[in-house]
Amino acid sequence: MSEEPSIFTKIVNREIPADIVAETDDLIAFRDIHPQAPVHLLVVPKTQQYHNVVELAARNPALMASMVALASQLADRYCGGEFRLVFNTGEAAGQTVFHVHAHVLGGGLDEGSLG
């Protein structure tokens, strides 16, 4: 693919600063710059080959499982293990970066939000 690097790839490559909270060989996690909850972290594969969670689940379920496991670990650390895990798929659903990523949201969420 001859796509431009996504903003997340630029974070992985340390071209753009981020408040990184965890990193593995395959994943990076950092604070969202526009938080929608008291705890709002992003879990992102270091590869941008998957545009959304549907592609990821179909083509690399092991990486998806790793994302969920890291999200759970982060939720344990930052919000007592209780969290929402959100994947936006498609522009109409709110996806703005087409590099698959999970939103880990916790810490006193409004019950009506993200319903």
Q: How many Å apart are CA 91 and CA 110, to the nearest integer?
A: 24
The question of whether 40 is a catalytic residue gets the answer no
- Comparing C-alpha atoms, which of 103, 105, 101 is closest to residue 6? 101
Q: How many Å apart are CA 5 and CA 54, to the nearest integer?
A: 20
Q: Hey, what are 38's tokens?
A: 């008291």
Q: How many Å apart are CA 108 and CA 13, to the nearest integer?
A: 33
| 40, 51, 99, 101: the active-site residue | 101
Kindly list the catalytic residues.
101
